[in-house]
Amino acid sequence: MSINITERQLPHQYEKYVVDMDRVKQKIKQADKDNTTVTGNDTVDISKAGRNALEKKISALSRAGQNKAAGKLSSVSSFSVMSDFERAVSAEKEEGVKSNTFDYHVNQMVSAYKRMRNGIEEKYTDTDREQQYYVADDGSIQKLTKEKKLEMLDKAYEKHSKFMAASTEIWSNLQDFKPQITYHSKSAGTAKSFSADNTGKSGIEEQAYQAFMSAVNSENIRLLQQSKGGLNNIKLGLGISTSARNELNRIWDYNTNL
């Protein structure tokens, strides 16, 4: 089938093509009448300038297609992973356990960390999974790899550890706080003060932070995986002395069970 196209140049610098439809209809009617198939190739006459412009556009689209990243943008961010970890720690709280000692909270943290890490590992076992991207803290878009998600989880655990370690020292200071009492003597015309300043234990925050960070190791995670009892019955290695551990538990037990 042959199509004749008339090319006309318009003042607005674009091309208009007119198809001779009467001739096309005649060929189709003749084909129906003869019960034959219309053969031949459709041809279109395009100006040299138009052909060059079309080639450039196709080339540009091809390059854009090659450079386009295949995947989707994820809602994952350092903030969302931190929020997920906080919720996971709270979800590890066992029913019927009234005591919220330092040891028990460490167990909650490590158990939540283990569950989230296992989830990430399992998700990335599928080699055919679609590539995901995320918006980094600096605003750039980066690949969301397994290593990046594990890094976000580690940072979330560290931030939670720093916050809880600082809270532990605050609780210690409040527990040992004693008010300053001032006595006024009318006869002497002077005031005598008897004070007891804040006598919080030194290094409480550092010891608590060290214990939190030391708790996340392969041996402790193995203990959690093998344990059949509740978190309250597990004693993880924390890398601190027994006396320091007892003091941390005393502070937590006193303040969180008031």
**What is the rounded average pLDDT of the residues 92-103?**
81
Same domain flag for 29 and 84: no
**Banded model confidence at residue 71, pLDDT cuts 50, 70, 90:** confident
Share of the chain above pLDDT 70, in %: 62
Contact between 231 and 185 (Cβ < 8 Å)? no
Same domain, 44 and 152: no
Q: What is the pLDDT of residue 19?
A: 52
Q: Is the pLDDT of residue 25 over 60?
A: yes
Domain termination residue (choose one: 44, 67, 90): 67
CB-CB neighbours of 89 under 10 Å = 21
pLDDT at 60: 64
| Euclidean distance between CA atoms 92 and 118, whole angstroms | 15
Going by pLDDT thresholds of 50, 70 and 90, the confidence category of residue 255 is: confident
Q: What pLDDT, in 10s, does the model give residues 145-197?
A: 999 999 999 999 999 999 999 999 998 888 665 545 444 444 444 444 433 34
Query: Which token pair is 175?
Result: 């527990």
* DSSP assignment of 34-103: HT----S-------HHHHHHHHHHHHHHHHHHHHSPPSEE----HHHHHHHHHHHHHHTPPTT-----HH
DSSP 231: G
Backbone φ and ψ of 191, nearest 5°:
-115, 135
The pLDDT assigned to 61 comes to: 58
pLDDT over 60 (residue 201): no
The reply to whether 9 falls in a domain is yes
Q: What are phi and psi for residue 51, nearest 5 degrees? A: -65, -40
User: Same domain, yes or no, for 98 and 137?
Assistant: yes
Across 15-36, average pLDDT: 61
Tokens of 42: 């459709």
Mean pLDDT of 97-115: 89
Q: Give yes or no: residues 108 and 156 share one domain.
A: yes
Q: Can you give the three-state secondary structure of 97-114, one letter per residue?
A: CCCCCHHHHHHHHHHHHH
**Structural domain span for residue 219:** 76-179+201-256
Number of structural domains (the chain) is 2
In the sheet where 132-135 sits, what is the strand order? 72-73, 132-135, 141-143
CA distance 144 to 120: 11
Asked, for residue 237, whether it belongs to a domain, the answer is: yes
Q: What is the pTM of this model?
A: 0.63
Average pLDDT value for the chain: 76
Do 173 and 235 fall into the same domain? yes
How far out from the chain centre does Cα 223 lie?
27
Query: Is 185 contained in some domain?
Result: no
Residues 103 and 217 in one domain: yes
Residue 196 lies in a domain: no
